[in-house]
Amino acid sequence: MVDISRQYAAILSQIAECVQSGKTNESTDIPRGSVGKPGVVELVAAALDAGQSPSAVLNDGLLSGMNVVGKRFAANEVFIPEVLVSARAMKAGVELLRPHFAETDMPSRGDFVIGTVRGDLHDIGKNLVSIILEGAGWRIHDLGVDCSTDAFLRAIDSHPNCVVGLSALLTTTMMAMGESVTAIRLAHPETVVLVGGAPVTAEFAERIGASGYAADPSQAAALLDKLVSVN
């Protein structure tokens, strides 16, 4: 007799491993020499064909794998290239799952609106935070770079109860961060606002009235766990 639950667990584990290694599909040559072997896309399709629930594939396969990547990134065991290819693999899997959640919403921990503040075009830090938080189960709304305060306010209107993340790399654009936080606080005093970026510090975050500061993406995920109660 075939042990279906063990088969399911095995394929979910394989999906998680492919996310960790960044193997998107069978033509992705990561790890090197693996062309022709199934990647996230093939394994997600196989899991769904076998009757595995989309929620399980998402949580126990894709997000589980990305969660490990986030921890290894925080521990300096992997670096940005590895995180990016893992995120690419995870997203490919999520896209396959999306139609299965058409009638309900994709399960998530909540909405996270993120953008680089006015006057600042740097986005690699913002993108890494988005990747790690998406891997932690947050639904990301990336406003891009050079975002006005109005753009953040409109996004909060569109996503009530969201958390907002503001990023800045330049010391000069940190001032714009302060202006945006003040405006968000005035219009939506209940909204959790996180700030980060190379020159940003915890003291600065406190001074401008942000809810919290994260030095890196993993700290952002941990901080969200503390600040936001999850239903």
Q: Is 170 in the site for another protein (CB under 8 A)?
A: yes
Nearer to another protein, 12 or 133 (CB): 133
Q: Is 172 in the site for another protein (CB under 8 A)?
A: yes
Q: Is 103 in a helix, a strand, or coil?
A: coil
The answer to whether the beta carbons of residues 82 and 19 sit under 8 Å apart is: no
Binder to another protein among 127, 130, 167, 180 (CB under 8 A)?
A: 127
Least distance (Å) from another protein to the CB of residue 16?
Answer: 18
Nearer to another protein, 164 or 168 (CB): 168
Rounded Cα gap, residues 220 and 109, in angstroms? 14
Span of 45-53, 100-108, 184-192, 196-204 interacting with another protein by CB under 8 A: 196-204
Rounded Cα gap, residues 121 and 124, in angstroms? 10
∠ Cα 31 35 37 (to 5°): 90
| Residue of 92, 97, 86, 103 whose CA lies nearest to 217 | 86
Interface ranges with another protein (CB under 8 A)? 22, 28-30, 32, 76, 78-82, 84-85, 88, 119-122, 124-125, 127, 146, 170-173, 198-199, 201, 215-216
